[in-house]
């Protein structure tokens, strides 16, 4: 490419990168200053000296609005939710896709379509009736109530189905010759071959679980099962006495895990994402 | 789309399907059915008596000027968010697809915002645009502009649109980049030999070839703007000031959760379901047509 | 070591009949090649023998044991697939030993058998590699090895050479034949390539539209094809077919192109005027100054021989293969030696044998 065009490209890309990095930078810096500095609205651009105490406070005690529940326990809840949603979805989707692809039985297409059609019902749309079911089952304010309704997903099932269709028939035939039954084939061949897809799905679903907002807002009313995203928004609920330095520290803490997962697993994630949803 | 060789048996596939089917039935079909059922019911003020009212809940909604205004707001909001985030995503993808130094680093730096939760994005934007503690918000006020999104409806709308679009750019970027990379180099080389200049090449070759991606993303972005932006709105403006940033999903939430009007909230859910079903149906028809090309 | 008996095998997929009753008896240690164009049912037949498809009717016996209702793994057979079907996440050794491990053989025994098979195939150095790191020919060998370690009663080959380039295919062909003869395992080999079929098989089954058109040794099939389909399928360039009618009380044929030729091997049954098809292979046509005029329209020089395409006076096409360089003329004068003619009925395409040996 001509150098004259190249620098323009670089400038535009750097502007794009800044547009995403700047807010994070401000929060990161803000989280190292004390409440007074931020309250005066000075918006520092260089780190201050209160990082350790801000994070310690956030981690252990949280803000006044969270009634003494620390971000540490919220992070644990978020982590639990994200991991269980991801692992749960992957497990049940893998199993159901395997059944639909590698067997032929009456009602197979009915089962597939009833899973498929749930694509059309995002959790937000059926939120109150779902909440009612969860509360009828006595699952409000439990991890089970928080996680299980989010676990059934057509997307993961579709991805696995699509991938299983690309496994050559000859593999199944060779397995039959070798005397491997369906479970053995699942374990010895399909599972190892699906590793990349699982990694990609894990990233997507971890982020999905971590970033849930409306559902946890409804299902959790006590602080002990509250996730960090909810907790943080609660902190800014009352404008007057918002402890901005704690909010900023919480914000950074709430960002780190999903960002780390995406960046570290970027290679599988991008491949998986574009293949899942197309 | 059928395998030639399959395993025999009924019990094992049934067991494998059971967990997902059970969850789907309990947490999808049952609530969806209830939503439809509740939409035709109305509770009295004390929550004691429930009566069947037919389409009254729907009729009330469609006769409610506030609901129609909210619908209009939602449309403006969704179209703006989609247009902004799609064009930004496309521009960045085209740039990052070029053979330049550091292309890989740029990609990583533009992909990671995917991980940001909508509600967290909102908090980040507060730190930028809050009239007292926000970097840009203070600068605007210092420059003599009367900036306070908490009081000014137009400013609030602008704010939620920008924050929502900002959050979705990296998603669009990832897909556009994948779409660009799947265009065969030979097609572009042929166009170059035909004498098309880069800009013309983009609009006559690349953009048409990207159209399936663009269409898919348009639907995804609309659905995102309809539903997933709940966290952004709740954290930034709570639908205010004076309902100026209230979207349909936010209103359904408020009516159900705060006003405890289950009938109306359910009717709203049903309307939203119809919107999603329509969008998905359009998408599938389009995808099917594409397959036949 | 075993025999294989296929009797009355029929197969339909819904209303489509793919196999119309196949009978075949394979001797112990014999290599049978099933050959035919795509869609003739040859792969279906192999898959039925393997147990991957269930026949609509008929039975399969391996070593005298009825196996029609058994699972593939219970039939004591091994199969080499067209795309090899090597598990990409397993090493060569793991791929080869997988079936043995499932059967519960102790590890040292599996390792010993894998080593032996690898030595036989010259792939000892590759045992720890993944399939992705192998060339096409090496993968082919591993696929063979996977079949060999099982020490099965029956080998099944499903077009195993079709993914190799031409040169490697010839080499692997010879190798498979040598190996099969050395191990003496009864084998069924499916291919669409007639040269592969001729060189590999003790006997061939030429399949056509779900029927076994002919089952015989390669030379029998070449010398006495049972019908016009087999005649046209085996041999390259393909046999010429000319129209004619029975004449002189069955002793001769009157070709549409003109000449009357007396059969060298005796008269054919049937009334004079019976419509016939006369086949003659391109390499059997000879030059003759007083013969038929052949107007040439294409000359293909192949170095050691030349293939000439032309048409006779009545417009019928005739291909001639001559040794050496091509003549430069536009018209060739050719004759059809009576002893080289194949006689078929025009109605059913079946070979018509002479009434008595001539």
What does the pLDDT look like over B5-19, one tens digit per residue?
888 888 999 999 999
Q: Say if the Cβ atoms of C72 and A177 lie within 8 Å.
A: yes
Q: Are A115 and A181 in contact (CB under 8 A)?
A: no
> Interior CA angle at C277 toward C274 and C280, to 5°?
140
Whether the CB-CB separation of B1 and A162 falls below 8 Å is answered with: no
Query: Is beta strand C57-62 parallel, antiparallel or unpaired with respect to C4-13?
Result: antiparallel
Q: So what's the pLDDT on residue C95?
A: 93
C chain contacts of residue A192, beta-carbon cutoff 8 Å? 89
CA–CA separation, A277 vs B284, rounded Å? Answer: 12
Alpha-carbon gap, residue A75 to B45, rounded angstroms: 40
Distance of alpha carbon A54 from alpha carbon C162, whole angstroms: 69
Under DSSP, is residue C204 helix (H, G, I), strand (E, B) or coil? Answer: strand
Shortest CA distance from B268: residue in chain A: A125
3-class SS at B184?
coil
Chain A (178-217) residues lying within 8 Å, Cβ to Cβ, of chain C: 178-180, 184, 188-189, 192-193
Which chains lie within 8 Å of chain B at 3 or more CB pairs, if any? Answer: A
CA atoms within 13 Å, Cβ hemisphere of C5? 9
Mean pLDDT of A115-138: 79
Comparing alpha-carbon positions, the chain A residue that sits nearest to B25 is A114
Are B175 and A22 an interchain contact pair (Cβ–Cβ within 8 Å)? no
Query: Which chain B residues contact residue A9 at CB under 8 A?
Result: 95, 98, 100
Chain A residues whose beta carbon lies within 8 Å of the beta carbon of residue B135: 26, 43
Q: What is the pLDDT of residue C245?
A: 95
How far apart are the CA of A260 and the nearest CA of chain C, in angstroms?
28
Measured between CB atoms, does A107 come within 8 Å of chain C?
no
Tell me the β-bridge partners of B62.
Answer: none
In 3D space, the residue among B233, B268, B227, B220 whose CA is nearest the CA of residue B161 turns out to be B233
Q: A68: pLDDT confidence band, cut at 50, 70 and 90?
A: low
| pLDDT tens-place string over residues B178-228 | 888 888 888 878 877 887 777 888 888 888 888 888 888 888 898 889 888
The CATH topology of domain C4-232 is Rossmann fold (3.40.50)
What are the structural domain ranges in chain C? 4-232, 237-345
Contact list, B115 vs chain A (CB under 8 Å): 207, 210-211, 255, 258-259, 261-263
CB B181 within 8 A of CB B97: yes
State the smallest CA–CA distance between residue A271 and chain C in angstroms: 19
pLDDT tens track, chain C, 358 positions? 589 999 999 999 888 999 999 999 999 999 999 999 988 999 999 999 999 999 999 999 999 999 999 989 899 999 999 989 999 999 999 999 999 998 889 999 999 999 999 999 999 999 999 999 999 889 999 999 999 998 899 999 999 998 888 889 999 999 999 999 999 999 999 999 999 999 999 999 999 999 999 999 999 999 999 999 999 999 889 999 999 999 999 999 999 988 899 999 889 999 999 999 999 999 999 998 888 999 999 999 988 899 999 999 999 999 999 988 777 788 899 999 999 999 999 999 999 999 875 4
CATH of range A75-276; options 3.40.50.10800, 1.10.3720.10, 3.40.50.620, 3.40.50.460 = 1.10.3720.10
**All residues at 6 or more sequence positions from A199 whose CB lies less than 8 Å from its CB, including other chains:** A265, A268, A269, A272
Which residue in B has a C-alpha nearest to residue A97's C-alpha? B17
All residues of chain A having their beta carbon less than 8 Å from the beta carbon of residue B127 are 23, 26-27, 30, 248
Q: Residue A145 is encoded by which pair of tokens?
A: 């109530």
- The answer for residues whose C-beta is within 8 angstroms of residue C357's C-beta and 6 or more apart is C265, C266
Q: Report pLDDT for B41.
A: 81
Segment B282-291 shows an average pLDDT of 64
For residue C74, CA distances in Å to A178, B7, C265 come to 9, 15, 51
Indicate yes or no: CB of A96 within 8 angstroms of CB of B116: no
What's the average model confidence in pLDDT over B56-73? 88
Domain architecture of chain B: domains with CATH: 64-292 (1.10.3720.10)
Q: How confident is the model at residue A72 (pLDDT cuts 50, 70, 90)?
A: confident
The tens digit of pLDDT for each residue in B242-259 reads 788 888 888 888 888 777
Cβ pairs A/C, distance under 8 A: 54
Q: What share of chain A is helix, strand, coil (3-state, %, to 5)?
A: 75, 0, 25
Pairing of strands C286-301, C305-311: antiparallel
Angle, helices A228-235 vs B118-129, to 10°: value is 30
Least CB–CB distance from A176: residue in C73, C83, C89? C73
Confidence band (pLDDT; 50, 70, 90) for A2?
A: low
Is the predicted pLDDT of residue B45 greater than 70, yes or no? no
Q: Does A56 touch chain C (CB under 8 A)?
A: no
Which among A100, A118, A259 has CB closest to B115? A259
**A30 → closest Cβ in B14, B34, B127:** B127
pLDDT classification of B292: cutoffs 50, 70, 90: very low
- Tell me how far apart the alpha carbons of residues B237 and B247 are, in angstroms, rounded to a whole number: 11
pLDDT (0 to 100) of residue C146: 92
Contact (CB, 8 A) for C100 and C113: yes
pLDDT level of residue B288 (50, 70, 90 thresholds): low
Question: What span, in angstroms and rounded, lies between the C-alpha atoms of A23 and A28?
Answer: 9
User: What's the pLDDT band for A99 if we cut at 50, 70, 90?
Assistant: very high
- What CA–CA distance (Å, rounded) separates C149 from C126? 16
Cβ distance C85 to A192 less than 8 Å, yes or no, reads no
Report in angstroms the alpha-carbon separations of B100 from A20, B171, C133. Answer: 21, 22, 32
**Measured distance between the N- and C-terminal CA atoms of chain A, rounded to whole angstroms:** 31
pLDDT at position A83 over 80: yes
Chain B residue with Cα closest to A94: B16
Give the count of Cβ contacts less than 8 A between chain A and B: 278
Interface of C with A in 41-60 (CB under 8 A): 50-52
User: How many angstroms separate the CA atoms of C245 and C251, rounded?
Assistant: 11
Asked whether C82 and C76 are in contact (CB, 8 A), the reply is no
Q: Provide the token pair at C159.
A: 């077009």
Collect all residues of chain A within an 8 Å Cβ-Cβ radius of residue C74. 179
C-alpha A141/C-alpha A128 separation (Å) is 15
**CATH of segment(s) C237-345:** 2.40.50.140
DSSP C72: G
Euclidean distance between CA atoms C145 and C137, whole angstroms: 12
Say whether C237-345 and C4-232 share the same fold.
no
Kindly state the average pLDDT of the residues A210-216: 90
Looking at chain A, the whole-number percentage of residues with pLDDT higher than 70 is: 87
Q: How close, in Å, is residue A76 to chain C by CA atoms?
A: 36
Q: In chain B, which residues have their Cβ closer than 8 Å to the Cβ of A10? A: 100, 102
How many C-beta atoms surround the C-beta of residue B216 within 10 A? 18
Q: In whole angstroms, what is the distance from residue B41 CA to residue B54 CA?
A: 7
The model's pLDDT over B83-139, given as tens digits with 9 standing for 90+, comes to: 999 999 999 999 888 877 888 888 888 888 889 999 889 888 888 888 887 888 888
Nearest CA in chain A to B95: A9
């Amino acid at each position: 490419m001509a150098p004259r065009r190249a620098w323009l490209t670089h400038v535009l890309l750097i502007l794009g990168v800044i547009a995403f990095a700047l807010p994070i930078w401000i929060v990161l810096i803000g989280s190292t200053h004390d409440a007074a500095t931020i309250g005066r609205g000075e918006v520092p651009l260089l780190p201050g000296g209160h990082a350790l105490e801000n994070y310690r406070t956030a981690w252990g005690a949280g803000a006044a609005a969270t009634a003494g529940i620390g971000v540490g326990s919220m992070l644990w809840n978020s982590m639990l939710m994200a991991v269980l949603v991801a692992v749960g979805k992957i497990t049940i989707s893998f199993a159901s896709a395997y059944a639909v692809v590698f067997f032929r039985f009456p009602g197979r297409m009915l089962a597939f379509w009833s899973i498929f059609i749930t694509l059309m019902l995002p959790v937000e749309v059926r939120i109150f009736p779902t909440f009612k079911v969860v509360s009828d089952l006595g699952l409000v304010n439990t991890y089970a109530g928080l996680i299980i309704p989010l676990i059934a997903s057509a997307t993961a099932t579709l991805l696995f189905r699509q991938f299983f269709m690309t496994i050559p028939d000859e593999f199944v035939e060779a397995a039959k010759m070798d005397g491997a039954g369906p479970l053995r084939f699942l374990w010895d061949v399909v599972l190892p071959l699906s590793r990349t897809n699982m990694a990609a799905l894990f990233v997507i679903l971890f982020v999905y679980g971590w970033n849930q907002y409306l559902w946890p807002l409804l299902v959790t009313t006590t602080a002990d099962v509250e996730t960090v995203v909810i907790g943080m928004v609660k902190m800014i609920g009352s404008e007057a006495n918002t402890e901005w330095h704690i909010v900023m520290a919480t914000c950074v803490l709430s960002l780190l895990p999903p960002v780390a997962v995406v960046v570290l697993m970027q290679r599988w994630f991008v491949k998986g994402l574009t293949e899942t949803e197309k | 789309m059928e395998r030639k060789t399959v395993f025999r048996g009924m019990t094992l596939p049934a067991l494998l399907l059971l967990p997902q089917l059970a969850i789907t039935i309990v947490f999808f079909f049952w609530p969806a059915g209830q939503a439809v059922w509740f939409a035709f019911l109305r509770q009295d003020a004390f929550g004691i008596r429930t009566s069947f009212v037919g389409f009254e809940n729907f009729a009330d909604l469609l006769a409610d000027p506030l609901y129609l205004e909210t619908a209009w707001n939602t449309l403006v909001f969704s179209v703006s968010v989609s247009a902004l985030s799609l064009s930004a995503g496309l521009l960045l993808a085209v740039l990052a697809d070029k053979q330049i130094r550091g292309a890989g680093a740029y990609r990583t730096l533009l992909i990671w915002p995917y991980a940001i939760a909508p509600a967290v994005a909102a908090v980040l934007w507060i730190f930028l645009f809050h009239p007292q503690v926000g970097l840009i918000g203070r600068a605007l006020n210092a420059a003599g502009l009367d900036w306070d999104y908490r009081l000014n409806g137009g400013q609030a709308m602008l704010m939620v649109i920008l924050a929502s679009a900002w959050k979705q750019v990296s998603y669009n970027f990832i897909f556009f980049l994948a779409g660009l990379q799947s265009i065969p180099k030979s097609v572009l080389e042929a166009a170059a030999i035909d004498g098309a200049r880069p800009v013309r090449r983009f609009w006559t070759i690349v953009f048409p070839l990207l159209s399936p991606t663009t269409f898919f993303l348009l639907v995804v972005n609309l659905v995102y703007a309809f539903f997933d932006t709940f966290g952004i709105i709740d954290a930034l403006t709570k639908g205010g000031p004076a309902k100026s940033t209230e979207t349909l999903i936010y209103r359904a939430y408020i009516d159900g959760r705060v006003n405890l009007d289950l009938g109306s909230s359910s009717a709203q859910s049903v309307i939203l379901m119809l919107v999603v079903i329509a969008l998905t149906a359009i998408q599938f028809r389009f995808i099917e047509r594409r397959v036949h090309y | 070591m075993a025999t294989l008996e296929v009797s009355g095998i029929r197969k339909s997929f819904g209303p489509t009949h793919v196999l119309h009753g196949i009978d075949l008896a394979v001797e112990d240690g014999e290599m049978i090649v099933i050959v035919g164009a795509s869609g003739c049912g040859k792969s279906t037949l192999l898959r039925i023998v393997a147990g991957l498809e269930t026949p609509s009717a008929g039975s399969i016996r391996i070593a005298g044991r009825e196996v029609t209702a058994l699972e593939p793994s219970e039939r004591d057979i091994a199969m080499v697939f067209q795309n090899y079907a090597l598990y990409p996440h397993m090493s060569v050794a793991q791929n080869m030993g997988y079936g043995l491990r499932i059967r519960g053989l102790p590890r040292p025994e599996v390792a010993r058998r894998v080593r032996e098979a690898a030595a036989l195939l010259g792939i000892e150095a590759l045992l720890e590699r993944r399939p992705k790191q192998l060339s096409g020919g090496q993968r082919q060998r591993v696929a063979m090895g996977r079949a060999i370690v099982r020490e099965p009663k029956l080998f099944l080959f499903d077009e195993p050479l079709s993914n190799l380039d031409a040169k490697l295919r010839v080499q692997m062909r010879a190798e498979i034949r040598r190996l099969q003869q050395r191990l003496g395992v009864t084998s069924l080999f499916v291919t669409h390539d007639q040269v592969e079929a001729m060189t590999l098989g003790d006997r061939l089954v030429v399949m056509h539209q779900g029927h076994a058109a002919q089952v015989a040794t390669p030379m029998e099939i070449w010398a006495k094809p049972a019908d016009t389909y087999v005649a046209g399928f085996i041999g390259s360039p393909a046999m010429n077919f000319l129209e004619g009618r029975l004449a002189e009380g069955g002793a001769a044929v009157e070709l549409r192109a003109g000449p009357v030729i007396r059969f060298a091997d005796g008269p054919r049954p049937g009334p004079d005027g019976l419509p016939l098809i006369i086949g003659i292979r391109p390499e059997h046509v000879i030059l003759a100054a007083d013969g038929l005029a052949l107007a040439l329209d294409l000359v293909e020089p192949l170095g050691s021989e030349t293939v000439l395409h032309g048409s006779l006076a009545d417009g019928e096409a005739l291909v001639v293969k001559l040794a050496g360089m091509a003549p430069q003329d536009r018209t060739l004068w050719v004759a059809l030696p009576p002893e080289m003619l194949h006689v078929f009925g025009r109605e059913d395409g079946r070979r018509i044998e002479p009434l008595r040996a001539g």
